[in-house]
């Protein structure tokens, strides 16, 4: 069992998201995240899907997606060089001014932006890989007692020349 990534081109039509997500629930596939948005062609949407599965199930997932009429193309991103980022907001609340400094230091180390600030809270805006975001959340949780997280699910695109993920 491991995380795998799929880029999925689909018709930009009513019900397609429900059909794709319905496949995952109906067949008990373990969906981790799914993001969707239109592409440069307004009639086509692109999804970035992360699933946790074994090899056999993953093959089956790709085949099942492929045979949907509304699916135009399935690209397996698991083993290709890609750029992947996830948007995440982290609000750290109920903290003293010394703790606010600490949040700023963390922001610096993680190279994330401070998007907003108040007397006792700071809002971080992060565009990191999913794993890096996880690490940041763990760190914030261990240091502060009241944090609020909202994350968007990852988007990914094939790399041009680099091999970063």
Partner 1 sequence: MDITGRKLFVKALREEGVDTIFGYPGGMVTDIFDELYKQEDIQVVLPRHEQGLIFEAEGYAKATGKVGVCLVTSGPGATNLITGLADAHYDSIPLVCFTGQVPLSLIGNDAFQEVDIVGMTRSVTKYGVTVQDRKDLGRILKMAFHIARTGKPGPVLIDIPKDIQVQSGDSEYPKEVSIRGYKPNESVHIGQLKKAYRLLKSAKRPLILAGGGIHIGHANDELLKFVERTQIPLVTTIMGKGAIPTSHPLYLGNSGMHGKYACNIAVSECDVLFSIGTRFNDRITGDLNEFAPRAKIIHIDVDTAAISRNVVVDVPIVADAKPALEKLCEWAEEQDTLKWREKIKGWDSEHPLEMRRDRGMTPQMIMEHINKMYKEAVIVTDVGQHQMWATQYLELGGRRQLITSGGLGSMGFGLPAAIGAKIGQPYKHVICITGDGGFQMNMQEMATAIVQKAPVTICLFNNYYLGMVRQMQQLFYGKRYAGTCLRRQKGCSATCKGPNEACPPYVPDFVKFAECYGAHGIRVTEESQIQEALEAAKRNEDAPTLIEFIISTDEIVLPMVKGGNPMKEMIL
Contact footprint for partner 1 (CB under 8 A): 10-11, 13-15, 18-19, 22-23, 26, 56, 59-60, 63-64, 66-73
Say how many residues make up the chain.
165
- Closest approach of Cβ 14 to partner 1, in Å? 7
Residues 6+ positions from 60 with CB-CB distance below 8 Å: none
- Closest approach of Cβ 122 to partner 1, in Å? 41
- Closest approach of Cβ 56 to partner 1, in Å? 7
Nearest alpha-carbon partner for 74 in 4, 14, 15: 4
Counting runs of H as helices and runs of E as strands, what totals does the chain give? 4, 8
Instruction: Using CB atoms within 10 Å of the CB of residue 14, give its burial: 0 to 12 exposed, 13 to 18 middle, 19+ buried.
Output: exposed
- Closest approach of Cβ 79 to partner 1, in Å? 19
CB atoms within 10 A of CB 78: 14
Output 23 or 139, the one with its CB closest to partner 1: 23
Output 62 or 132, the one with its CB closest to partner 1: 62
Output 71 or 88, the one with its CB closest to partner 1: 71
Output 23 or 149, the one with its CB closest to partner 1: 23
Cα–Cα dist 121/99, whole Å:
9
Q: Is 84 helix (H, G, I), strand (E, B) or coil?
A: strand
- Closest approach of Cβ 65 to partner 1, in Å? 9
Output 65 or 156, the one with its CB closest to partner 1: 65
């Amino acid at each position: 069992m491991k995380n795998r990534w799929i880029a999925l081109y689909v018709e930009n039509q009513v019900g397609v998201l429900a059909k794709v997500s319905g496949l995952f629930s109906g067949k008990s596939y373990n969906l981790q995240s799914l993001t969707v948005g239109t592409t440069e062609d307004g009639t086509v949407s692109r999804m970035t899907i992360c699933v946790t599965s074994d090899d056999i199930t993953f093959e089956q997932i790709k085949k099942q997606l492929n045979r949907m009429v509304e699916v135009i193309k399935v690209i397996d991103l698991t083993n290709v060089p890609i750029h992947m980022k996830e948007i995440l907001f982290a609000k750290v609340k109920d903290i003293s001014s010394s703790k606010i400094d600490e949040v700023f230091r963390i922001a610096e180390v993680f190279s994330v932006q401070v998007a907003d600030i108040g007397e006792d809270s700071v809002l971080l805006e992060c565009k990191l890989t999913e794993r890096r975001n996880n690490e940041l959340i763990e760190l914030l949780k261990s240091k502060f007692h009241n944090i609020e997280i909202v994350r968007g699910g990852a988007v990914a695109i094939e790399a041009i020349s680099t091999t970063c993920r």
